Amino acid sequence: MMNQVFFKLFILGFVSVLFFNVTVSAQVLAVTDKSEAHANRIRSTINANREIVNYIEYTLVSRGLPRHLRNLSLLESGFANSSVSHAGAVGIWQIMPAHADDHGLSQVDRADVYRSTQAAVNSLTRMYNKYRDWITVLAAYNCGEGNIAKAMAKAGSKNYEDYYLYLPNETTNSIRKYINACYVTGELDDLLRNTRKSPAKSKVKGAQAFRSKAKSVTVEGSVNGSLLKTQINSGYDLGVIAEFLSTTLSNINKWNPDIVSKLKQKSEVTFYLPAEEMALFESNKNKILRLSLLR
Protein backbone atom coordinates (compact mmCIF):
# COMPACT_ATOMS: atom_id res chain seq x y z
CA MET A 1 0.00 0.00 0.00
CA MET A 2 2.80 2.40 0.95
CA ASN A 3 4.59 1.57 -2.29
CA GLN A 4 1.49 2.47 -4.31
CA VAL A 5 1.10 5.79 -2.47
CA PHE A 6 4.79 6.59 -2.97
CA PHE A 7 4.54 5.73 -6.67
CA LYS A 8 1.49 7.97 -7.14
CA LEU A 9 3.21 10.85 -5.35
CA PHE A 10 6.32 10.33 -7.47
CA ILE A 11 4.29 10.41 -10.71
CA LEU A 12 2.36 13.49 -9.56
CA GLY A 13 5.58 15.28 -8.70
CA PHE A 14 7.16 14.33 -12.02
CA VAL A 15 4.15 15.59 -13.99
CA SER A 16 4.11 18.83 -11.97
CA VAL A 17 7.79 19.47 -12.67
CA LEU A 18 7.31 18.65 -16.35
CA PHE A 19 4.32 21.00 -16.60
CA PHE A 20 6.28 23.73 -14.80
CA ASN A 21 9.25 23.37 -17.14
CA VAL A 22 7.05 23.46 -20.24
CA THR A 23 5.21 26.52 -18.93
CA VAL A 24 8.44 28.35 -18.08
CA SER A 25 9.95 27.46 -21.46
CA ALA A 26 6.88 28.81 -23.24
CA GLN A 27 7.27 32.10 -21.38
CA VAL A 28 10.98 32.59 -22.09
CA LEU A 29 10.33 34.33 -25.40
CA ALA A 30 6.98 35.81 -24.43
CA VAL A 31 6.08 39.51 -24.27
CA THR A 32 6.11 40.62 -20.63
CA ASP A 33 5.13 44.27 -20.93
CA LYS A 34 2.18 45.27 -23.11
CA SER A 35 1.42 48.46 -21.21
CA GLU A 36 0.65 51.66 -23.08
CA ALA A 37 3.18 53.52 -20.93
CA HIS A 38 5.97 51.23 -22.13
CA ALA A 39 4.81 51.50 -25.75
CA ASN A 40 4.75 55.29 -25.52
CA ARG A 41 8.32 55.38 -24.15
CA ILE A 42 9.58 53.24 -27.02
CA ARG A 43 7.75 55.25 -29.69
CA SER A 44 8.69 58.65 -28.27
CA THR A 45 12.40 57.72 -28.06
CA ILE A 46 12.37 56.56 -31.68
CA ASN A 47 10.49 59.63 -32.88
CA ALA A 48 12.75 62.02 -30.92
CA ASN A 49 15.82 60.55 -32.66
CA ARG A 50 14.39 60.14 -36.12
CA GLU A 51 17.53 61.28 -37.99
CA ILE A 52 19.74 58.72 -36.23
CA VAL A 53 17.06 56.02 -36.54
CA ASN A 54 16.74 56.66 -40.28
CA TYR A 55 20.50 56.29 -40.73
CA ILE A 56 20.61 53.09 -38.68
CA GLU A 57 17.69 51.55 -40.58
CA TYR A 58 19.15 52.58 -43.94
CA THR A 59 22.46 50.94 -43.00
CA LEU A 60 20.75 47.77 -41.77
CA VAL A 61 18.58 47.38 -44.86
CA SER A 62 21.49 48.09 -47.22
CA ARG A 63 23.38 45.22 -45.58
CA GLY A 64 20.40 42.86 -45.69
CA LEU A 65 19.73 43.00 -41.95
CA PRO A 66 16.29 43.44 -40.30
CA ARG A 67 15.16 46.92 -39.24
CA HIS A 68 14.32 45.68 -35.73
CA LEU A 69 18.04 45.77 -34.87
CA ARG A 70 17.57 49.50 -34.45
CA ASN A 71 15.95 48.46 -31.15
CA LEU A 72 19.34 47.25 -29.92
CA SER A 73 20.70 50.78 -30.04
CA LEU A 74 17.44 52.07 -28.57
CA LEU A 75 17.80 49.84 -25.52
CA GLU A 76 21.57 50.10 -25.19
CA SER A 77 21.73 53.89 -25.14
CA GLY A 78 18.45 55.53 -26.13
CA PHE A 79 20.40 56.62 -29.27
CA ALA A 80 22.63 58.89 -27.11
CA ASN A 81 26.16 58.93 -28.55
CA SER A 82 27.51 60.35 -25.28
CA SER A 83 26.25 57.35 -23.30
CA VAL A 84 28.87 55.54 -21.17
CA SER A 85 28.08 52.40 -19.18
CA HIS A 86 29.49 51.44 -15.78
CA ALA A 87 31.58 48.81 -17.59
CA GLY A 88 33.10 51.36 -19.97
CA ALA A 89 30.95 50.75 -23.05
CA VAL A 90 30.53 53.89 -25.16
CA GLY A 91 28.15 55.33 -27.74
CA ILE A 92 24.78 54.47 -29.19
CA TRP A 93 25.82 50.81 -29.60
CA GLN A 94 27.63 50.63 -26.24
CA ILE A 95 30.85 49.31 -27.76
CA MET A 96 33.53 48.01 -25.40
CA PRO A 97 37.24 48.82 -26.00
CA ALA A 98 38.13 45.26 -27.06
CA HIS A 99 35.11 45.13 -29.39
CA ALA A 100 36.24 48.39 -30.99
CA ASP A 101 39.74 47.01 -31.54
CA ASP A 102 38.37 43.85 -33.15
CA HIS A 103 36.49 45.93 -35.73
CA GLY A 104 39.12 48.55 -36.49
CA LEU A 105 37.34 51.26 -34.54
CA SER A 106 39.36 53.78 -32.53
CA GLN A 107 38.36 54.35 -28.91
CA VAL A 108 37.21 57.89 -29.78
CA ASP A 109 35.17 56.64 -32.74
CA ARG A 110 32.99 54.58 -30.40
CA ALA A 111 31.01 57.78 -29.80
CA ASP A 112 30.74 58.53 -33.53
CA VAL A 113 27.21 57.61 -34.66
CA TYR A 114 28.18 56.74 -38.23
CA ARG A 115 31.44 54.84 -37.69
CA SER A 116 30.12 52.96 -34.66
CA THR A 117 27.00 51.94 -36.60
CA GLN A 118 29.14 50.48 -39.38
CA ALA A 119 31.20 48.55 -36.82
CA ALA A 120 28.07 47.29 -35.03
CA VAL A 121 26.50 46.17 -38.31
CA ASN A 122 29.70 44.30 -39.24
CA SER A 123 29.64 42.56 -35.86
CA LEU A 124 25.94 41.67 -36.07
CA THR A 125 26.35 40.33 -39.61
CA ARG A 126 29.26 38.11 -38.63
CA MET A 127 27.43 36.72 -35.60
CA TYR A 128 24.25 36.04 -37.56
CA ASN A 129 26.27 34.11 -40.15
CA LYS A 130 27.58 32.08 -37.22
CA TYR A 131 24.37 31.49 -35.22
CA ARG A 132 21.55 32.00 -37.79
CA ASP A 133 19.32 33.14 -34.93
CA TRP A 134 18.80 36.76 -33.87
CA ILE A 135 18.04 35.99 -30.22
CA THR A 136 21.39 34.23 -29.88
CA VAL A 137 23.12 37.08 -31.73
CA LEU A 138 21.64 39.61 -29.30
CA ALA A 139 22.59 37.49 -26.31
CA ALA A 140 26.16 37.20 -27.64
CA TYR A 141 26.28 40.96 -28.23
CA ASN A 142 25.43 41.44 -24.56
CA CYS A 143 27.61 38.87 -22.81
CA GLY A 144 30.12 37.71 -25.41
CA GLU A 145 30.38 34.65 -27.64
CA GLY A 146 32.47 32.80 -25.07
CA ASN A 147 29.63 32.89 -22.54
CA ILE A 148 27.19 31.73 -25.20
CA ALA A 149 29.41 28.75 -26.01
CA LYS A 150 29.63 27.81 -22.32
CA ALA A 151 25.85 28.12 -21.85
CA MET A 152 25.15 25.97 -24.91
CA ALA A 153 27.63 23.35 -23.71
CA LYS A 154 26.05 23.19 -20.24
CA ALA A 155 22.55 22.92 -21.70
CA GLY A 156 23.58 20.50 -24.43
CA SER A 157 21.52 22.60 -26.81
CA LYS A 158 21.78 25.58 -29.17
CA ASN A 159 18.16 26.48 -28.49
CA TYR A 160 17.86 29.69 -26.45
CA GLU A 161 14.89 28.29 -24.53
CA ASP A 162 17.25 25.61 -23.21
CA TYR A 163 20.54 27.43 -22.63
CA TYR A 164 19.21 30.77 -21.32
CA LEU A 165 19.31 29.30 -17.79
CA TYR A 166 23.10 29.43 -17.93
CA LEU A 167 23.36 33.08 -19.07
CA PRO A 168 23.92 36.10 -16.82
CA ASN A 169 20.73 37.75 -15.54
CA GLU A 170 21.74 40.96 -17.30
CA THR A 171 21.70 39.12 -20.62
CA THR A 172 18.34 37.40 -20.16
CA ASN A 173 16.87 40.72 -19.01
CA SER A 174 18.21 42.42 -22.13
CA ILE A 175 16.56 39.75 -24.32
CA ARG A 176 13.26 40.21 -22.47
CA LYS A 177 13.42 43.99 -23.02
CA TYR A 178 14.26 43.48 -26.69
CA ILE A 179 11.26 41.20 -27.17
CA ASN A 180 9.03 43.80 -25.53
CA ALA A 181 10.45 46.53 -27.78
CA CYS A 182 9.86 44.46 -30.92
CA TYR A 183 6.29 43.86 -29.79
CA VAL A 184 5.80 47.63 -29.70
CA THR A 185 7.42 48.20 -33.10
CA GLY A 186 5.42 45.34 -34.65
CA GLU A 187 8.49 43.25 -35.50
CA LEU A 188 8.21 40.35 -33.06
CA ASP A 189 7.54 37.73 -35.74
CA ASP A 190 10.60 38.88 -37.68
CA LEU A 191 12.71 38.58 -34.54
CA LEU A 192 11.52 35.09 -33.62
CA ARG A 193 11.27 33.64 -37.13
CA ASN A 194 14.49 31.61 -36.86
CA THR A 195 14.57 31.23 -33.09
CA ARG A 196 11.92 28.60 -32.40
CA LYS A 197 13.19 26.06 -34.90
CA SER A 198 13.99 22.71 -33.38
CA PRO A 199 17.62 21.63 -33.01
CA ALA A 200 19.01 19.35 -35.70
CA LYS A 201 18.40 16.21 -33.61
CA SER A 202 14.76 17.13 -33.05
CA LYS A 203 14.28 17.88 -36.74
CA VAL A 204 15.60 14.43 -37.64
CA LYS A 205 13.17 12.79 -35.20
CA GLY A 206 10.33 14.82 -36.70
CA ALA A 207 11.37 13.78 -40.18
CA GLN A 208 11.48 10.11 -39.15
CA ALA A 209 7.97 10.41 -37.68
CA PHE A 210 6.68 11.85 -40.94
CA ARG A 211 8.37 9.12 -42.96
CA SER A 212 6.67 6.47 -40.88
CA LYS A 213 3.21 8.02 -41.27
CA ALA A 214 3.23 9.56 -44.73
CA LYS A 215 3.40 7.93 -48.11
CA SER A 216 6.47 8.98 -50.10
CA VAL A 217 6.06 10.18 -53.66
CA THR A 218 8.56 10.85 -56.44
CA VAL A 219 8.55 14.11 -58.37
CA GLU A 220 10.49 14.21 -61.60
CA GLY A 221 13.34 16.69 -61.48
CA SER A 222 13.26 17.06 -57.71
CA VAL A 223 16.45 17.37 -55.68
CA ASN A 224 15.88 14.46 -53.32
CA GLY A 225 13.52 12.39 -55.43
CA SER A 226 11.48 11.08 -52.49
CA LEU A 227 9.11 13.74 -51.14
CA LEU A 228 6.10 14.06 -48.87
CA LYS A 229 2.99 15.99 -49.79
CA THR A 230 0.52 18.34 -48.14
CA GLN A 231 -1.92 21.03 -49.27
CA ILE A 232 -1.37 24.79 -49.39
CA ASN A 233 -3.48 27.66 -50.69
CA SER A 234 -2.62 30.91 -52.46
CA GLY A 235 -2.30 32.67 -49.11
CA TYR A 236 1.13 31.12 -48.61
CA ASP A 237 4.11 33.11 -49.82
CA LEU A 238 6.76 30.81 -51.30
CA GLY A 239 9.52 33.19 -50.25
CA VAL A 240 8.37 33.06 -46.64
CA ILE A 241 8.22 29.26 -46.77
CA ALA A 242 11.76 29.12 -48.15
CA GLU A 243 13.08 31.51 -45.47
CA PHE A 244 11.36 29.66 -42.64
CA LEU A 245 12.69 26.29 -43.80
CA SER A 246 16.20 27.70 -44.40
CA THR A 247 16.10 26.61 -48.02
CA THR A 248 15.90 28.43 -51.35
CA LEU A 249 13.11 29.34 -53.76
CA SER A 250 15.04 27.34 -56.34
CA ASN A 251 14.62 24.21 -54.23
CA ILE A 252 10.93 24.95 -53.62
CA ASN A 253 10.42 25.19 -57.38
CA LYS A 254 12.41 22.00 -58.05
CA TRP A 255 10.30 20.10 -55.56
CA ASN A 256 7.12 21.73 -56.92
CA PRO A 257 7.33 22.30 -60.70
CA ASP A 258 4.98 25.08 -61.94
CA ILE A 259 3.88 25.82 -58.35
CA VAL A 260 3.50 29.55 -59.06
CA SER A 261 1.13 29.05 -61.98
CA LYS A 262 -0.78 26.33 -60.13
CA LEU A 263 -1.40 28.66 -57.17
CA LYS A 264 -2.77 31.28 -59.55
CA GLN A 265 -5.16 28.78 -61.13
CA LYS A 266 -6.43 26.94 -58.04
CA SER A 267 -7.40 27.95 -54.51
CA GLU A 268 -5.56 24.92 -53.10
CA VAL A 269 -2.75 22.79 -54.54
CA THR A 270 -0.61 19.81 -53.55
CA PHE A 271 2.73 20.91 -52.11
CA TYR A 272 5.82 18.69 -51.91
CA LEU A 273 8.77 18.84 -49.49
CA PRO A 274 11.49 16.46 -48.26
CA ALA A 275 10.60 14.75 -44.98
CA GLU A 276 12.79 16.95 -42.76
CA GLU A 277 11.42 20.19 -44.23
CA MET A 278 7.86 18.80 -44.19
CA ALA A 279 8.09 18.06 -40.46
CA LEU A 280 9.09 21.67 -39.78
CA PHE A 281 6.50 23.07 -42.20
CA GLU A 282 3.57 21.10 -40.79
CA SER A 283 4.43 21.97 -37.19
CA ASN A 284 4.56 25.70 -38.06
CA LYS A 285 1.95 25.86 -40.81
CA ASN A 286 -0.26 28.51 -39.19
CA LYS A 287 2.69 30.73 -38.29
CA ILE A 288 4.07 30.54 -41.83
CA LEU A 289 0.64 31.52 -43.19
CA ARG A 290 0.46 34.52 -40.83
CA LEU A 291 3.91 35.65 -41.93
CA SER A 292 2.90 35.17 -45.58
CA LEU A 293 -0.15 37.39 -45.20
CA LEU A 294 2.07 40.18 -43.82
CA ARG A 295 4.13 40.26 -47.04
What confidence tier does 183 reach under pLDDT thresholds 50, 70, 90? very high
pLDDT for res 108? 82
Can you tell me whether residue 129 is helix, strand or coil? helix
Q: Are residues 151 and 220 in the same domain?
A: no
What confidence tier does 295 reach under pLDDT thresholds 50, 70, 90? low
d(CA 140, CA 114): 22
d(CA 259, CA 81): 50
Residue 279 predicted with pLDDT over 90? no
pLDDT by residue (tens digit) across 122-145? 889 999 999 999 999 999 999 999
Domain count, the chain: 2
Specify the pTM: 0.59
Q: Are residues 29 and 174 in the same domain?
A: yes
d(CA 247, CA 241): 8
Query: Residue 32 — φ and ψ, nearest 5°?
Result: -110, -5
Q: Are residues 187 and 254 in the same domain?
A: no
Q: How many CA atoms lie less than 13 Å away from 196 in the CB half-sphere?
A: 18
pLDDT by residue (tens digit) across 53-84? 999 999 999 888 999 999 999 999 999 988 88
Pick the last residue of a domain from 145, 167, 192.
Answer: 192
> Domain span at residue 20?
16-192
